[in-house]
Amino acid sequence: MKLVVGLGNPGPEYAETRHNAGFRIVERVAQRHGIALRRERHLGARLGVGSVRGLRVGLLEPQGFMNRSGGAVAAALAQIPLADLGADLLVVYDDLDLPFGRLRIRPGGGAGGHRGLADIQGRLGRSDFPRLRFGIGRPPPGVDPADHVLTPFAGEEVTQLAALVDAAADAVETVLADGVGAAMARFNPDGGK
């Protein structure tokens, strides 16, 4: 079993924001593979389980706010034990420090200032699990990054977003089926570094 966690904020007021890139990507994977995401109150998340490239996969969207994502992930892992957390968990989230649409896959590491990922690491007591970062770009001068992440994509970004989310869903599927190394080599701009 594998578990893919997309990070975002719950509710319609946040649905189109940059901070919900993780939700968008997980929802695209769910759509492609006919996996229904259902509210699981005991987890504090939306969860769907199905098959992706012949693998049994859980897709999870924590429904607490971003900074409290770890509780839902810990609860899901108690219900869906993974054989190897370092290989079978993938967290997907937005990144201010990557240009819009750029993907970066890593096998582990620090949170890089992302509070949702930091909360997951704190709750699990480890950081050696794969992650896929989706670039949302830095805010314009004078705009607070905290405000920027809660704004919708705009202008030219909107026209490119669907194709970029599709590419990110491809990256998720590659991590699941072929492993982190293969996905890094294919999707990271520096060929896997």
- Out of 19, 33, 42, 148, the active site residue is 19
In a domain, 87, yes or no: yes
Any catalytic annotation for residue 19?
yes
In a domain, 192, yes or no: no
Range of the domain at 147: 2-187
**Helices then strands, each counted (H, E), the chain:** 7, 7
In a domain, 167, yes or no: yes
In a domain, 115, yes or no: yes
CATH number reported for the structural domain that contains residue 31 in this entry: 3.40.50.1470
Q: Using one digit for the tens of pLDDT, what is the confidence trace for 85-96?
A: 999 999 999 999
In a domain, 120, yes or no: yes
The region that residue 137 occupies, defined by phi over 0 for left and psi between -120 and 50 for alpha, beta otherwise, is left
Q: Using one digit for the tens of pLDDT, what is the confidence trace for 102-143?
A: 999 999 999 998 999 999 999 999 999 999 999 999 998 999
| Domains identified in the chain, total number | 1
In a domain, 193, yes or no: no
User: Is residue 46 within 8 Å of 39, Cβ to Cβ?
Assistant: yes
Q: Using one digit for the tens of pLDDT, what is the confidence trace for 2-59?
A: 999 999 999 999 999 999 999 999 999 999 999 999 999 999 999 999 999 999 999 9
User: Is residue 45 within 8 Å of 66, Cβ to Cβ?
Assistant: no
